[in-house]
Amino acid sequence: MTQAKTTDMTPVINLTRISGAGPKRRQRPAYIDHLPPCNSACPAGENIQAWMAHVQAGDYLSAWQTLVRDNPLPAVHGRVCYHPCEYHCNREELDSTVSIHAVERFLGDMAIESGWKLPIDAQPSGKRVLIIGAGPCGLSAAYHLTRLGHVVEIHDAGEFPGGMLHFGIPAYRLPRDILMQEIYRIQQAGVKIVQNHRIDDLLAEKTSGKFDAVLVASGAQLSRHVDIPQRDAAKVLDAVTLLKNAESAGTTLLGRRVVVYGGGNTAMDAARTARRLGSTDTLIVYRRDRAHMGAHDFESDEALAEGVKFRWMTSIREIDGTNLTVEQMQLDPDGNLQPTGKTETLKADALVLALGQTADSGFLKKIPAIQFARDDSMIINDQMMSAEPGVFGAGDLVPGQRSVTDATGQGKLAARHIHAWLNKTIYTAPVKNPGVTFSMLKLLIYSDAEAGKQQELAAVTRTDSFDEVLAGLSQHEALYEAQRCLSCGNCFNCDNCLAACPETAIRKNATGNGYQIDMNRCIGCAVCFDQCPCHALEMVAEPSSVATASL
């Protein structure tokens, strides 16, 4: 934790709090682990504060081992996750959030360079699990099931593993060698992946392979379409097809003028990919304004920096050769979109539809018990199992948020439920510790320390290739960034409580980590509580007996 500058946050002794000091002490300090907001916001359930603390100490192997207990793809996630953890970081109230994703990427890349192996130490269970789909959800579930002692096999219809990581995220965001090396490490841990294997009869596949359970994590790779009247249509394709074709040595020919219809992150990727495939005039057309786009701000900012143009509040009405008839939209008093009747004609050699994806669940409809939502997503119960016993669903195939990190977290959770079902029990998630807000911290001293900046390719040269745009952190930069962490709600051995106690009731543990409180000396004055910067101490009601409290 960074400390240097005194603030005006002078500690105030609360007289009510210490009114029971001495023989009639009515409260005492107790060490407690709170749930940091970054941990709470992580869809993959990473213990971010814990692995960040290891980075602060320069113990990168322990940091990586702590990280991969929850997520086996840190080098991938450090590049493609939209880092909701950072949107909740308490440091934002001081200067700027900790760049958690960049430190995660640093650890992931270091693990690849160092050849670190995933920790697999469970005793074999004798159970076999089949997973359909080698995307982030399937890979995560396979890894966690393997760690629980089960034999896992993934069957995937694609030529390469990774699902939409491989075919839906451009290489300028996720280099393929990084992706494949992290997947290979999962295979080294014991997971078998069978490619070019499309499932037609799931139950027959389960029986022939003698699998005890199945997880369907086939994702949402079917593009949504919209009915647009077409005469002599220009080249029309969906964004998923464009991104997949770009993997084939960039052979897709789009022409100079490309219009992308949509406002999500996939639309941004499609437009930026079109620029790299030779489109010099790339335009995104979206029915609403920028404030209502599905794409994250930094995604649209990067598209703008690379020369992509935008037309807000515009809808495509008709296609006639290279002419697109578009209509201006407006919001009515209730906030609903309404056509204005004002149209104009745009020129386009190709139109890319980026209107979202739906689940590829057709093969499951041969199983009468399985039910589906309106969007063809698979309906599951609170144990993530369908109405067909032993057939589970997760990731983009089921209703919920759709992102790489959400899918990874879903895979981990599905593994827990499958493990419990195989053992004839029900998985119950542990109760979360209480959260900690910025107002609960007592940052008596701190330093102004803005987040470090990742180097990036110059915008004018990015569209010349699919080279990675964003660079990683050096070891020095990663250490600096980790040291910006405020360790919200968790002790980081700063010794403030030790130094502040007027009765010398606090002493450090022999291991050097954590402290003990001698309740025979403690008077309940709460000075230690007031001096704890990260709120790792609470004042609790005095129990009937006196003992030694420790961290």
232-273 tens-digit pLDDT:
666 888 999 899 888 765 556 788 999 999 999 999 999 999
**Which range among 11-15, 405-409, 430-434, 508-512 shows the weakest confidence by mean pLDDT?**
11-15
Q: Which residue has the higher pLDDT, 504 or 357?
A: 504
Number of structural domains (the chain) is 4
Encode pLDDT of 96-115 as tens digits.
999 999 999 999 999 999 99
> Do 248 and 352 share a domain, yes or no?
yes
Has residue 54 been placed in a domain?
Answer: yes
Q: What is the CATH number of the domain that holds 396?
A: 3.50.50.60
The reply to whether 322 and 175 lie within a common domain is: no
Measured from the Cβ of residue 497, the count of other Cβ atoms closer than 10 Å reads 25
Question: Residue 59: which CATH number?
Answer: 1.10.1060.10
Mean pLDDT over the full length of the chain: 89
Q: Which two tokens stand for residue 274?
A: 């079109």
> 428 in a domain, yes or no?
no
Question: How much is the pLDDT for 396?
Answer: 87
> Has residue 314 been placed in a domain?
yes
Digit-coded pLDDT (tens) for 36-84: 999 999 999 999 999 999 999 999 999 999 999 999 999 999 999 999 9
pLDDT score for 23: 53
| Least confident among 18-22, 204-208, 223-227 | 18-22
Range 245-250 contact pairs with CB under 8 angstroms and sequence separation of 24 or more: 246/170, 246/273, 246/276, 246/277, 246/466, 247/166, 247/167, 247/171, 250/276, 250/277, 250/466
Mean pLDDT throughout 5-10?
Answer: 36
Are residues 269 and 293 located together in one domain of the fold?
Answer: yes
What is the C-alpha separation between 48 and 52, in angstroms, rounded?
6
Residue 19 pLDDT level (bands cut at 50, 70, 90): very low
Is the distance from CB of 506 to CB of 551 less than 8 angstroms?
A: no
- Give me 106's structure tokens: 């640093």
Tokens of 528: 């230690």
Same-domain status, 393 and 467: no
**CA-CA distance, 349 to 388, in Å (whole number)?**
48
Q: How many CA atoms lie within 13 A of 41 on its CB side?
A: 17
Residue 5: pLDDT over 50: no
Mean pLDDT over 430-452 rounds to 84
| 460 belongs to a structural domain | yes
Among candidate residues 357, 379, 412, the one where a domain is terminated: 357
The pLDDT value recorded for residue 204 is: 95
531: which residues sit within 8 A by CB, 6+ positions away?
11, 442, 444, 496, 497, 499, 500
Residue 234: per-residue pLDDT: 66
Q: Decide if 164 contacts 219 (C-beta within 8 A).
A: yes
Residue 34: the pLDDT is 93
Model confidence band, residue 425 (pLDDT cutoffs 50, 70, 90)? very high
For 168, the 3-state DSSP assignment is: coil
Res 543: pLDDT: 76
Position 123 in a domain: no
Q: Give pLDDT, residue 8.
A: 37
Q: What integer is the mean pLDDT of 459-472?
A: 92
Residue 291: what are its φ and ψ, rounded to 5°? Answer: -60, -20
**Together in a domain, 231 and 321:** yes
pLDDT tens by residue, 381-412: 999 999 999 999 999 889 877 889 999 999 99
Tens digit of pLDDT for each residue in 268-313? 999 999 999 999 999 999 999 888 888 989 999 999 999 999 999 9
**Domain co-membership, 85 together with 12:** no
Q: For the chain, what percent of residues have pLDDT higher than 70?
A: 92
User: Would you call 225 exposed, middle or buried from its count of C-beta atoms within 10 A (0-12, 13-18, 19+)?
Assistant: exposed
Please answer whether residues 242 and 167 qualify as being in contact, where contact means their C-beta atoms are separated by less than 8 angstroms.
no
| Residue ranges making up the domain that contains 63 | 37-116+441-483
pLDDT at residue 10 tops 50: no
Task: Tell me, yes or no, whether 333 lies in a domain.
Answer: yes
Do 206 and 324 fall within a single domain?
Answer: no
Is the domain of 335 the same as that of 351? yes
Domain of 13, CATH number, reads: 3.30.70.3270
Query: Is there a single domain that holds both residue 406 and residue 532?
Result: no
pLDDT digits (tens, 9 = 90+) for 131-187: 999 999 999 999 999 999 999 999 999 899 999 899 889 999 999 999 999 999 999
pLDDT at 30 over 50: yes
Higher-pLDDT residue of 524 and 446 is 524
Q: Are residues 353 and 364 in the same domain?
A: no
Least confident of 89-93, 438-442, 522-526, 540-544: 540-544
> End of a domain among 341, 357, 373?
357
Q: Are residues 351 and 384 in the same domain?
A: no
Dist CA 484 CA 494 (whole Å): 14
Under the banding of pLDDT at 50, 70 and 90, the label for residue 445 is low
> Residue 495 pLDDT > 60, yes or no?
yes
Point out the domain boundary residue: 464, 483, 502: 483
| Residue 10 within any structural domain of the chain | yes
Q: Does residue 177 share a domain with residue 86? A: no
Tokens of 203: 């139950």
Asked if residue 107 is part of any domain, the answer here is: yes
- Answering whether pTM is above 0.85, one says yes
Q: In percent, how much of the chain has pLDDT > 90?
A: 71
